[in-house]
Structure 1
Amino acid sequence: MAAEAAPSPATALAHARRLVVKIGSSLLIDAATRAVARDWLASLAQDIADLRQQGREVIVVSSGAVALGRGRLNTTPGRLQDKQAAAAVGQTLLMHAWEEALAPHGLITAQVLLTRDDTERRRRWLNARATVEALLAHGVVPVVNENDTVATEEIRYGDNDRLAARAAQLARADLLVLLSDVDGLYTADPRRDPEARHLPLVESLGPDILGMASGANADAG
């Protein structure tokens, strides 16, 4: 018997009732102004509102706090504690931007800050899951980010793609969508390697696929 064909992205999206959507800082932050790209965020907020009107549940994993904090403090990447200070400043700016974007649609937002420990220790995992379930039951849009202000290098994700994958597991989501300025998975970073090839479908995670991974972006938080 032939193997069942993988569903197309459109089909997977159409059948997903609970989605996790991860937004990279390259989309959310205007590189020139180092502020929130409000027009782009307003467009995404409309998409989230449309999904909610269809009866879907949406969880957002949002990068951008560190980049926003550095913009406000006018600093550049430095020590871990400097990044944590930028995250502390940027988190308020990031959540204000999400609240401002979703409020016109009657949607309430909630901040959920996680460290790797929260998704690897069973008691914390179950508590975080219960909190997310309660927020969704109240019709809230959870906005998840890494708790960079307290996480040490040993308990950091360091990459919100990984955090988004664990959030999708934690929330028992039907679909995880990663929004980025790169249109999919490549054999290498296409911005640096002109020979990089786009991979439209990955059916298993072997050493060849895992070997394509690189480090996290500096402003992932």
Structure 2
Amino acid sequence: MTPSLSGFPPSQIRRLVIKIGSALLVDPQGEVREAWLRTLVADVAARKQAGQQIIIVSSGAIALGARRLKLPKGGRGSLEDAQAAAATGQIALSQCWASLLHERGITAAQMLVTLDDLENRRRYLNASATLERLMALDVVPVVNENDSVATAEIRFGDNDRLAARIGQAARADAVVLLSDVDGLYSANPHVDANAMLIETIERIDARIAGMADGGSASGMGSGGMTSKIEAARIATGAGAHLAIISGKVDSPLSHWSDGGKGSIFLAAQARGARKGWLAGRLTVRGRIVVDAGAEAALRRGNSLLPAGVARIEGIFARGDVVDILAEDGRVIARGLIEYDSEEAARIAGKRSEDIATLLGHLPRSVLVHRDHMAMV
């Protein structure tokens, strides 16, 4: 593991996001694992004392609420049950965090967000501003997805990716995911005794993505290694490191700092704020498939012209976010489209000088401008 980053020390990591999953925070009977949580809060307090700013992304509301409402299947039997459990459990979850942090002289703040809050540019900036102000006031924000209003179609679905997006919005230096495993392995360590821990990941390529296992070991949470690698893509693309470490030990942050195992995905060169937000989005309205020549032009920093487009997929309006794909299906870029889907389909593959005749009006010069595009 990279020695200078092991433990994400306050001297190097000014602002840190810590994500805690349901299986770590809530026991199988639906009660908070308070003794363990106190050790984590002690870690948080020590880091704050050393000058590190902390943001917590906490799961657990559905698991806590399901027990109080006596709902089957841990509150996940239906969307309505999950929403009711979340609404009930969130009160207990926030009270627990506020009480334990208060014992250490720390003020907690609750932030509940939906996928739309971070996919909509204006609301994303509002969330970013709120986080910045809370940091300035020396408060620890405790963030969770607002599952009481989220739908099956429009939600993060796991707090790994939420933590990465919150890290991006907060301009955090690093994100740490407390997990039921102590890092990324070459195979699932629960079933393969020969699986090897990958301590440092400099680039997320097909080999790294192929090591993921989508299952949640506890059955209580919603994320697996696949969601953690997707979170790492978002965080590292925003210029933040991301670590996966074990949360199954007491004082997990101290344990890691003292030499415990873990995996670190190293930050890539940070994009501009707007392009970082684009690249980290989880929803798009359409897909633009381009030929090899257009792919090469995009990688040189050019805008996307209609001539290089092989086909248009989806229904979208001007200004919507679309993915740009190579012919083999790889997503190579994401950007704001300058045409609606009907017009884009009409001019796909056409030369610029022919577009005015096809559309009957003076066209915009590009399909996606380079200033509104992020390579992924």
Partner residue of 1:37? Answer: 33
**Which one of 9, 14, 18 corresponds to residue 15 of structure 2?**
18
1:10, distance to aligned residue in structure 2 (A): 2.4
- Equivalent residue, structure 2, for 1:166: 165
In proportion to residue count, which structure has more helix? Answer: 1
Change (3 A) 1:197 1:204: same
Report 1:137-152 matches (<5 A). Answer: 137-152=136-151
**Contact in 2 for aligned 1:21/1:60 (Cα 8 Å):** yes
Q: What residue number does 1:214 align with?
A: 214
Deviation larger for 45-54 or 123-132: 45-54
TM-score, length basis structure 1: 0.89
Residues in 2 aligned to 1:131 and 1:19: alpha-carbon distance in whole angstroms: 16
**Residue by residue, what CA displacement relative to the aligned partner does 1:8-28 show, whole Å, maximum 9, x if unpaired?**
442643411110001111111
Rounded to whole Å, the distance in 2 between the matches of 1:213 and 1:166 is 21
TM (norm. structure 2) is 0.54
The answer to whether the 8 Å contact 2:22/2:220 transfers is no
Which is greater in Rg? Answer: 2
3-state DSSP of counterpart to 1:16: coil
Task: Tell me the distance in 2 between the aligned counterparts of 1:89 and 1:180.
Answer: 25
Q: Structure 1: how far apart are the matches of 2:167 and 2:47?
A: 17
Contact 2:14 2:52 in 1 (8 A): yes
Label 1:159 to 1:193 Cα distance change in 2 as closer, same or farther (>3 A): farther
User: Percent of aligned positions with the same letter in both sequences?
Assistant: 52
Q: Report if aligned partners of 1:58, 1:141 keep a CA contact under 8 Å in 2.
A: yes
**Aligned equivalents of 1:49, 1:126: Cα separation in 2:** 28
1:49 equivalent in alignment to 2:45? yes
Distance 2:195 2:79 in 1: 32
After superposition, the C-alpha distances for 1:125-165 in whole angstroms (9 at most, x for unaligned) are: 10000011111111111001111111112221101111111
- Report Cα offsets for 1:168-189 as digits up to 9, x if no partner: 1110101111112211112444
Q: Which moved more, 1:12-21 or 1:168-177?
A: 12-21
Letter aligned with residue 86 of structure 1:
A
Unaligned runs of 5+ in 2: 224-376
* Letter of the 2:105 counterpart: G
Provide the rounded CA distance (Å) in 1 between the counterparts of 2:7 and 2:86.
37
Partner residue in 1 for 2:153 = 154
Who is 1:74 aligned against? 70
Read off the aligned partner of 1:57 and give its amino acid letter: Q
**Paired residue secondary structure (1:10):** coil
Q: Aligned partners of 1:100 and 1:178: how far apart in 2?
A: 23
Aligned to 2:178: 179
Q: Is the 8 A contact 2:21 2:221 kept in 1?
A: no
Task: Say whether residues 1:64 and 2:63 are aligned partners.
Answer: no
180-189 or 68-77, larger mean C-alpha shift: 180-189
Deviates more, 1:160-169 or 1:181-190: 181-190
The Cα offsets for residues 161-215 of structure 1, whole Å up to 9 and x where unpaired, read as 1111111111010111111221111244433454543221211111232242515
Distance in 1 (CA, whole Å) between partners of 2:24 and 2:174 is 20
Whole-angstrom distance in 2 between the partners of 1:143 and 1:153: 23
Is 1:124–2:123 an aligned residue pair?
yes
Q: 1:52 & 1:205 partners in 2: Cα distance? A: 31
**C-alpha contact (below 8 Å) 2:31/2:64 kept by paired residues:** yes
State how 1:77-88 maps to structure 2 within 5 Å: 77-88=76-87
Q: Deviating runs (4+, > 4 A) in structure 1?
A: 5-8, 192-195, 215-218
Mark the runs of 5 or more structure 1 residues left unpaired by the alignment.
Answer: none
